[in-house]
Amino acid sequence: MDRIFTRDWDKPQGHLLSVYEEAGGYGALKKALSMTREAVMGEVKAGNLRGRGGAGFPAGVKWGFMAKDDGGPRYLCINADEGEPGTFKDRYIMERSPHLMLEGAAITSFAINAHACYIYIRGEFYSAARRVREAIDEAVKAGHLGKNIHGSGFDLDIHVHMGAGAYVCGEESALIESIEGKPGKPRSRPPFPAAVGLFNRPTIVNNVETIAAVPSIIERGGAWYAALGTPGNGGTKLYCVSGHVKKPGIFELPMGTPLREIIFTHAGGMRGAAPLKAVIPGGSSTPVLTPQEIDVKMDFDGLKAVGSMLGSAATVVFDDTACMVRSLARLAHFYAHESCGQCTPCREGTHWMAKIVDRIESGKGRAGDIDLLDDVASSIMGNTICPLGDAAAMPVSGFLKKFRVEFEEHVTTGRCRFPPQALAPVKTDRAWV
C-alpha cells in the first residue's frame, strides 16, 4: 500500500527538510506552480479528497466556493486544534512530517490565490508548534515559501497561531474569531468563511490531514488518489485506535477499510479475555456501535449507512468490563466544560445532561431520568449555531439507544456491576503502521 502520511515517520530525523526532499518533497509544489489554478483544483476534485476534520465535505468543491477574486487579501487557515477526544493524528503529522503539511498549504494557497496562511495549533501542542515553526524557517530559506516561490511570482507567508485549548475552536468560524483575537465563539452563517472569513475576507479552512494529502494528489494525479479508497472517498486515511486493544496507535490504511479489520488485525484485537462490547468509530461525538455493527466500511458513506459518522476516524474500543454509564459521564462532563455558552440549548443542556448522568452513575437515579436525558439530548440537536451541541447530544442518544438496559439497571438497583478499573500500561515500540 502507498504510504502518504506516514512515509517518513520511521526515518531518523524524518521531520527535516533534507529528508523530505530526498523522497521528492516539494516536487509537487513545483509541478502545481506550472499548472493553472483551475487545473490544481480539478485534480483535487478528481481525487475525491473529503475533509478529514470530521465533516467530510469534498475539499476541491469547498475551494471552488471561494468568493470571486477582487484583488484583495484571501486566506487559508489550517485547523490543527485537534480537540476531539480519541484523536491524535494531526499532532503526529506536524511533529513527524511538518513539510508534508507545508507543501500542501503552499499548493492549496496557490490554488485559491491566497498569499497568507494561518496554522491554528492547539495550545497544548507545544512540541508540534515548535517543529512546524522550524520547518517554516527551513522552507523559506530553501525558497519553498516566502517571496517569488521557485521563480513563479507567487508569494506565500505562513504564520503559526496558538490557540488556548478550546474544543469549540475546531469549528471553522470560531477558529477564525480566535485568530482575530476575539473569544472563540462560532459565527452565525451565512455568510460562510469562503465569502466572509478571516478579517472579513474570503477564507478556506481545512484540517491538517486534508492539507497533507494534497501533494500526493498533485504528484500522482487525482485518478490515482481516488482509486486508493472507495467510490466518493479517495485516498488513504489515518485511523486512530485507542482503548481496550493490544496495539493502540495510528494506522494508515485505504479509506473504507472495514472496522473489524482495523480492530482485530491492525490493532491486534482485544487486549484481554473480555469480549468486545462497543466501539466509538470516529471520535467521542460519533454515535456508538455494537459488536454486531462493526462489519462496516470506515468511510463517510459506510458509517452514515449504519447511523454513525466517520468524524476524525478516532476509534475508541470498549471491552465487556467497561461501564457505559460511567463512560458517558466522562464524555458529558467534557462537552459541558467545552461549551462556549453562546447558545442556550448547549449552554444549559450540556450541564443538565452531565448532572443527570452523574446522578444515574452514582446510584441516585430517579424514575424518568433516562427519558429526561434522552429528551434533553433531542432538544439540543439541530438547535445551536455550531455542531458542538450536536456533538454533545449524539453520544447521549447513541449510548441510550444501544445500552439502555445498563442505564435502567443503574436506576433500579442503585449500583454498577462494573467496578472501576485502572487501565494497564500499554507497551509498544511504535504508534503507527
User: What are the sequence ranges of the domains in the chain?
Assistant: 17-228, 236-319, 324-413
Residues 6+ apart with CB under 8 A from 71: none
| pLDDT tens series, the chain, 433 aa | 679 999 999 998 999 999 999 999 999 999 999 999 999 999 999 999 999 988 889 999 999 999 988 989 999 999 999 999 999 999 999 999 999 999 999 999 999 999 999 999 999 999 999 999 999 999 999 999 999 999 999 999 999 999 988 999 999 999 999 999 999 999 999 999 999 999 999 999 999 999 999 999 999 999 999 999 999 999 999 999 999 999 999 999 999 999 999 999 999 999 988 999 999 999 999 999 999 999 999 999 999 999 999 999 999 999 999 999 999 999 999 999 999 999 999 999 999 999 999 999 999 999 999 999 999 999 999 999 999 999 999 999 999 999 999 999 999 999 888 877 654 454 544 444 4
According to the model, what pLDDT value does residue 426 have? 47
Q: So what's the pLDDT on residue 421?
A: 63
Edge to edge, what strands does the sheet with 116-121 contain? 157-162, 116-121, 75-80, 203-207
Q: Which H/E stretch holds residue 369? A: helix 369-380
* pLDDT score for 138: 98
Residue 256 DSSP code = T
Give the model's pLDDT for residue 420. 72
DSSP letters of 94-132? Answer: HHH-HHHHHHHHHHHHHHHT-SEEEEEE-TT-HHHHHHH
Task: Please state which of the four CATH numbers 3.10.20.600, 1.10.3720.10, 3.40.50.300, 2.30.33.40 is assigned to the domain occupying 236-319.
Answer: 3.10.20.600
Q: Is 92 left (phi over 0), alpha (psi -120 to 50) or beta?
A: alpha
pLDDT confidence of residue 429 = 44
Confidence (pLDDT) at 416: 87
For the domain spanning 324-413, the CATH number is 1.20.1440.230
Gyration radius of the chain's alpha carbons: 22
- Tens digit of pLDDT for each residue in 119-147? 999 999 999 999 999 999 999 999 999 99
Beta strands 314-319 and 276-280 are antiparallel
What integer best gives the mean pLDDT of the chain?
94
Residues 6+ apart with CB under 8 A from 273: none
CATH number of 17-228: 3.40.50.11540
Residues with Cβ within 8 Å of 129's Cβ and at least 6 positions away in sequence, in order, are 94, 121, 160, 162
**In the block, residue with C-alpha cell 467496578:** 419
Q: Are 156 and 111 in contact (CB under 8 A)?
A: no
Beta strands in 233-360 (DSSP E): 236-243, 249-254, 276-280, 314-319
CA distance 328 to 354: 9
Question: Quick check: bond before 191 cis, omega within 30?
Answer: yes
Residue 315's pLDDT is what?
Answer: 97
Report pLDDT for 1. Answer: 66
Per-residue confidence (pLDDT) for residue 428, from 0 to 100 = 46
| Nearest to 219, CA basis, from 329, 121, 104 | 104
Model pLDDT, residue 327: 94
